[in-house]
Amino acid sequence: MIANATAEKYGGHGIAPWTRLNDLQPNTVYPLTKPPSLSARSMDVDALVTQYVQELFDLFGPTVAVTNPIESASPSSDSSDEAVLLFSIGMHIEPMGEQISEIALSAGATPKAGQDSRKPDYHNRAYFERHAENLRTLAAILEQHGGVMTVQAQSPFTTVAAQLGNTILSDLKDQGHEIALHFHEDAHLREDAEQLPVAIWSAVMTEEIDFIRTCGVEGPIRYWSGENLYPNILDAASGADLDIYSDWKNPNTQSTHPEFIGVNPWRPLGGTDGFDVTRFVQHDPSGPIIFLPPGEIDPMAFSHKRQITAQEGDEGWFDVLEESLLASVGAASPDRVNAYHFTMHPGEFVGDPRDPLAIIDQFLTGVVDPLVAAGKLQWATFSQIADAFIEWEKTHPTLAPR
């Protein structure tokens, strides 16, 4: 079928200008004596078809220049500039050994059963200190490359740090990294947290922010990640004085909705339950929350991270990250704010303990540093990306952000 469809100039017997078998090389004809090997990765068919449709549009669709008459009448000073992609690394600290908030319990939440002693728990001092040391090691590597990260913390990491007098979070803040909130609703509220009122959500999010402050972190805490299926999450976060959001994925499928993929931030009109994203992807110029998209990621690969690392090791995953970073650089527009980040966890990608996190240093040296030197990439915390978007809004009041 492939041979009979593929155009003669590619070695086939047909006239199709583009053919492809699954995710293999396009316009390839396979002899019967040497059939192709198929990927062992499980496939999200909807995401894959969407990816292929976009690829066909890019290859064969018409190129139409759309000009805003107001913008073109008064060209901005950056109209001839090269596009720049703002880049950061996000650090998720998970709620190992969590307990339901007393605020949620007073609102009728069900207490969690006793902790499974076999599971990781930040109340275990050795486990906590190992992850804290990993954070310091990563920060040192990033700083050698002029880089920054946004560390998203929550209890019990924060409460244990305060109890031990460990200054890891305030030290990172003093070194130029951003400290923010990572919020697992099932850890701090309850499994059916979506049934609780907005006020309880805001109160518990504020409590988690206060735990961060007990670690000596001063200044505004603006960003959060988590609780993605609560339709009122934007109101809840705004009530906790948060104004920047990203890392949306459906926790049930570990997938990102295709309409969230891209490099240009926007202000969502409303939240989502994970199915209806109509309000979330609609830009509201007066919306209180800025959403930072994940970049031009491959949704199928990003929803199968564990399988990829299990089959191909950390190197396989960083190949995926390189592809998404380069695709995001290519998608950046000189007349808009462009952003990309990837997410890590403490204790992840450590590799050889004698040379911990060496793969991060290799990725930054081989992929990131050349893009920074070429002026295509610029390091920024998540708040700095949001501030760049706020400034862009002031100078581009009539231009759609994405």
Q: Are residues 213 and 284 in the same domain?
A: yes
Q: What angle do CA 402, 330, 246 make, to 5 degrees?
A: 45
Whether 79 is covered by a domain: the verdict is: no
Close Cβ partners of 331 (under 8 Å, ≥ 6 residues apart): 262, 263, 296, 338
Q: What's the token pair of residue 401?
A: 């952000």
Q: Same domain, yes or no, for 41 and 88? A: no
Range of the domain at 53: 2-60
Q: Do residues 183 and 302 share a domain? A: yes
Sign of CA dihedral 287, 290, 291, 293: positive
pLDDT, position 39: 55
One domain, residues 38 and 98: no
Phi/psi for 252 (5° steps) reads: -80, -30
Q: What is the pTM of this model?
A: 0.78
Confidence at residue 190, expressed as pLDDT on a 0 to 100 scale: 84
Please report how the helices 125-144 and 157-164 are oriented relative to each other, as an axis angle in degrees rounded to 10. 100
* Residue 39 sits in the same domain as residue 169: no
Q: How high is the pLDDT of residue 71?
A: 33
Give how many domains the chain has, as a whole number.
2
Query: Both 127 and 6 in a single domain?
Result: no
Which pLDDT value is given to residue 302? Answer: 85
Residue 115 has what pLDDT? Answer: 65
Does the residue 74 lie in any domain?
no
Q: What is the C-alpha to C-alpha distance for residues 159 and 137, in angstroms, rounded to an integer?
A: 22
CB 357 within 8 A of CB 137: yes
The CATH number assigned to the domain holding 390 equals 3.20.110.20
Tens-level pLDDT at each residue, the chain (402 residues): 888 888 877 787 888 888 888 767 778 888 887 778 665 555 556 666 766 776 676 666 654 333 332 232 223 334 446 899 999 999 999 999 998 999 999 988 877 766 677 889 999 999 999 999 999 999 999 999 999 999 999 999 999 999 999 999 999 999 999 999 999 999 999 877 888 899 999 999 999 999 999 999 999 999 999 878 889 999 999 999 999 999 998 877 777 888 899 999 999 999 998 889 999 999 999 999 999 999 999 988 888 888 999 999 999 999 999 999 999 999 999 999 999 999 999 999 999 989 999 999 999 999 999 999 999 999 999 999 999 999 999 999 999 999
pLDDT of 328: 97
In terms of domains, do 99 and 224 share one?
yes
Are 367 and 291 part of one and the same domain? yes
What's residue 70's pLDDT? 28
Q: Could you give the count of Cα atoms lying within 13 Å of 156 in the half-sphere of its Cβ?
A: 18
27 and 148 in a single domain? The answer is no
The answer to whether residue 65 is domain-embedded is: no
Q: How many CB atoms lie within 10 A of CB 258?
A: 15
> Is the residue at 185 inside a domain?
yes
| In a shared domain, residues 135 and 32 | no
Q: Which of 44, 60, 76 is the last residue of a domain?
A: 60
Q: Do 53 and 145 fall within a single domain?
A: no
Q: How far apart are CA 135 and CA 169, in angstroms?
A: 9
Q: Kindly state whether residue 288 falls inside one of the protein's structural domains.
A: yes
Q: Does 71 map to a domain?
A: no
First CA to last CA distance, the chain? 39
Q: Is the domain of 97 the same as that of 56?
A: no
